[in-house]
Amino acid sequence: MLERSTQVASFPRRGGHYRVMGFDAPEIAERVRAGQFVNLLLRPGPLLRRPFSVYRVLPGGIVEIIYRPVGEGTGLLAAMQIGDSVSILGPLGRGFEFDAGWRSVALVSGGLGVAPMWLAARDAREAGLRVVWVHGARTEAELNLEWLGDEVVYATDDGSRGFHGSAVAAVPDGVGAVLACGPNRMLAAAAARWPDAQVAVETYMGCGTGVCLGCAVPLRAGGYDRACREGPVYRAADIDWDALPSQLHYAVGA
């Protein structure tokens, strides 16, 4: 885990709903694995850091995040310019694990659940796996059309593009493993279909280091884990989905 003062290096845009911002962070870029996240501290800005999954790693040590301006923190991000300073802490959390014995893997993302999937596709291909990326959103306009792998399947709630229905329902049969990220209700549906799926859960995070206990995840076996330390990636069946709020998203920030 590294804490650095760094600068905004790029902010390409991805349509009207999502934005991508890059930071000059070569040490984090070298270490980060799929499913891990960084915590950003903006000054002036909110008291607590804001967590974001690492979206992509670019040549030259650029670490990218993807976000949607929805609150104070992401609103401030959207107003930043290249060269502006930010404190970045990471890589944090436990990411996805890969097994060459799977032969293939489905990456299932809903909305901003695309956040960890580019790195997941990279790491899966490095493990020799065939990658099927299944991405869903409410409408075609809300889809993120960037993808990496061998096959992509789009799903929309209104049927405006691809499969008419959820990303979980659109996953083809026969994949060796499932990795998922998105709204908690989507992950609960994934857990019901694939108990051994790996899921990146949604919860609020403050410190990102396990101290503040603000990211508690209820476990089916009883008790709680800290998403920032023991997660955010879990075996789907290990989480008590009924006790977890359905609308949070750690990849969004606030």
Overall fold of domain 100-243: Rossmann fold (3.40.50)
100-243 has the same fold as 2-92: no
Query: Which numeric CATH code is attached to 2-92?
Result: 2.40.30.10
The pLDDT tens digits for 118-156 are: 999 999 999 999 999 999 999 999 999 989 999 999 999
| Residue spans of the chain under pLDDT 70 | 1, 13-16, 45, 47, 246-254
| pTM (2 d.p.) | 0.91
What per-residue confidence (pLDDT) applies to 204?
72
What per-residue confidence (pLDDT) applies to 47?
67
What per-residue confidence (pLDDT) applies to 16?
61
The Cα 214–Cα 243 span in angstroms is: 15
What per-residue confidence (pLDDT) applies to 73?
81
- The CA distances from residue 206 to 46, 89, 210, 215, in Å, are 11, 12, 9, 8
Domain residue spans in the chain?
Answer: 2-92, 100-243
CA dihedral 235, 238, 244, 246 (to 10 degrees): 40
Using a 10 angstrom Cβ sphere, with 0-12 exposed, 13-18 middle and 19 or more buried, the burial of residue 51 is buried
Helix (H, G, I), strand (E, B) or coil at 154: strand
